[in-house]
Amino acid sequence: MTSKLLRSFLAIAVISMISAFAQTSSATAPASGVTSASAPTAPVATGTGTKIGTINIEQAVVGTNEGQRDFEALKKKLEPKQNELKSQNDELEGLQKQLQTQGEKLNEDARATLVKQIETKKKSFDRSVQDAQEDAQNQQKEIFQRILQKMAPVIVKHAQETGFAMIVDTSNPWPQSPILWYGDGGDITKAVVELYNTQSGVPAPSASGASARPATPKPAAPKPATPKASEPPK
């Protein structure tokens, strides 16, 4: 669902947000007689349980009612740009087809003009695709970060209450992550999603609305062959 860039951002966000909340929630006041100068400045975030659990953060975020709602809204927001890119691509393909079918019949100047037009439009199209992809990724990251920030304390609280000593993220498969294998028995993804939905108060999307796994909105980026000028017929 996410690009490599978004996955990298997600991994960093998960570590920073959940670790920060776990440290805050596990910090205790210094014992009597211990001065603030001797108290630890950075409490270690460790669970008190004995089990090791897993969560797919990516699925958890997009699986919430809020995530489905917001990603579906983003998809609709990006549709006009998608249509604009499609129109640009259709025009470019039409010019390329014209060059392929009529190129040999055109005189040298007319053919050179057509080739130049195709090259110019292709450069413009490629820039538009790149800008659209970056914009979509930035907006996706904003949604992920906003939901994950509110989900982090839900994860930590659930893990503490159910006896987990550690929760690992399974969003990335091995070897992108150090997790070689895991079973479903210790997965808390569904439980966290349900807890988050209850806390957020966002209603479930209608059957005709967002799907459980909204697709990442990406502008279509076809790569038409770059036209090459050939020598005019002798």
How is 5-74 classified by DSSP, letter by letter? HHHHHHHHHHHHHHHHHHHHHH--PPPTT--TTTS-SS-----SSSEEEEE-HHHHHHHSHHHHHHHHHH
Provide the pLDDT for residue 85. Answer: 96
Cα-based distances in Å from 196 to 20, 74, 82, 95, 192: 19, 21, 32, 51, 6
Provide the pLDDT for residue 219. Answer: 41
Distance CA(182)–CA(173), nearest Å, equals: 11
What is the mean predicted confidence (pLDDT) over 141-169? 95
The overall average pLDDT reported for the chain is: 79
pLDDT in tens, 179-202: 888 888 899 999 999 999 999 999
Burial class (CB in 10 A: 0-12, 13-18, 19+), 20: middle
Domain ranges of the chain: 1-27+58-148
Cβ within 8 Å of residue 183, ≥6 positions away: none
Structural tokens at position 204: 């479930």
pLDDT in tens, 101-119: 988 888 999 999 999 999 9
Provide the pLDDT for residue 7. Answer: 52
pLDDT in tens, 18-66: 555 555 555 444 443 333 344 344 444 555 668 999 999 999 999 999 9
Residues 73, 187 contacting (CB under 8 angstroms) = no
Q: Give yes or no for residue 220 having a pLDDT over 70.
A: no
Q: Give yes or no for residue 138 having a pLDDT over 90.
A: yes
> How many CA atoms within 13 Å lie on the side-chain side of 215?
6
Residues 81, 210 contacting (CB under 8 angstroms) = no
Higher-pLDDT residue of 213 and 172 is 172
Higher-pLDDT residue of 231 and 51 is 51
Provide the pLDDT for residue 206. Answer: 84
